Amino acid sequence: MLVFERKADLTVYLLQQRKAGNTIGLVPTMGALHRGHLSLIETSVREADITVCSIFVNPIQFTNKKDLEKYPRTPEKDQKLLEDAGCHVLFCPSVEEMYPNPPYTQFSFGALEEVMEGYYRPGHFRGVGLIVSKLFNIVQPDLAFFGQKDLQQCRIIEHMAADLLFNLKVVVIPTVREEDGLAMSSRNVRLEPEARKEATALYKALCLGRDMLLKGEEPSVVGREVEAFVRTFPGLQLEYFSIADGGTLQPVKVVSDHKQLALCIAGYAGDVRLIDNLLTEV
């Protein structure tokens, strides 16, 4: 696997690959790689000729300084995992390389960022939009892979790519889960044993909500039931549970007005903030 720290070197290499007729897949990450990331890498390796994984802990998407400091960093392990997964290129730039100047440009994603993660972490998606568009410009991938666990991020990037005419396809890969249902996340390593046990209740809450909706229960009733379920776990603190349209992510009042629902949840297990979601056709 080739490792690049400078965008200019990566650009020269990718130009040669493009000239040779090779397609490029990009998997943007912040490192601390787990099986969820590896399923993105594996899909890219299957679908594109050259897979580029970027590892960059993007400071401007953290709305809480402590969260940025505590974000797990495992560079040697990540590099080994990528090599074993058949990744061709690792791009791991410094903060100065990605932000040579403090940025003036600010993204705004309208209604898409006024709910859920965008509401609870104002400015988060502005930071995601900026770094992902920089990566799209540097790598110019044919395909870019993102995990469904960050569903709101996926929808925002899909719209950003379409609005800015990026010549690429955004591919959303289903969430990979632990055996007990907990969604894979780089933050899971920070869970204390008791919090780890209870964390799986977030997924169970989503399943409960989905099953009730599929039985024809009203979203408001489902919302109350799911919240009550999460409250039975003393170590969990629910931040939000939303029954939203799968495309627009706006809250749903009448299920039959929608084709696809997204059940989204966020909460703290101990002091670790976790998110998860399920998509379901109705």
CB contact at 8 A, 154 and 170: yes
| CA gap 50, 45 in Å, rounded | 7
| CA gap 282, 265 in Å, rounded | 19
Asked whether position 30 contacts ligand PAF by CB under 6 A, the answer is: yes
| CA gap 236, 202 in Å, rounded | 9
Q: Which amino acid is at 41?
A: I
The token duo for 243 is 């029954």
Asked whether position 51 contacts ligand PAF by CB under 6 A, the answer is: no
Q: Which amino acid is at 219?
A: P
CB contact at 8 A, 91 and 4: yes
The one segment of 115-123, 128-136, 211-219, 221-229 that binds ligand PAF by CB under 6 A = 128-136
Output 131 or 206, the one with its CB closest to ligand PAF.
131
The token duo for 15 is 């130009």
From 29, 39, 148, 175, residue interacting with ligand PAF (rule: CB under 6 A)? 29
The one segment of 22-30, 206-214, 234-242, 263-271 that binds ligand PAF by CB under 6 A = 22-30
Asked whether position 44 contacts ligand PAF by CB under 6 A, the answer is: no
Asked whether position 158 contacts ligand PAF by CB under 6 A, the answer is: no
| CA gap 166, 22 in Å, rounded | 18
Output 24 or 201, the one with its CB closest to ligand PAF.
24
From 44, 51, 61, 185, residue interacting with ligand PAF (rule: CB under 6 A)? 61
Output 150 or 198, the one with its CB closest to ligand PAF.
150
For binding to ligand PAF (CB under 6 A), which residues are involved? 28-30, 58, 61, 128, 131-132, 150, 153
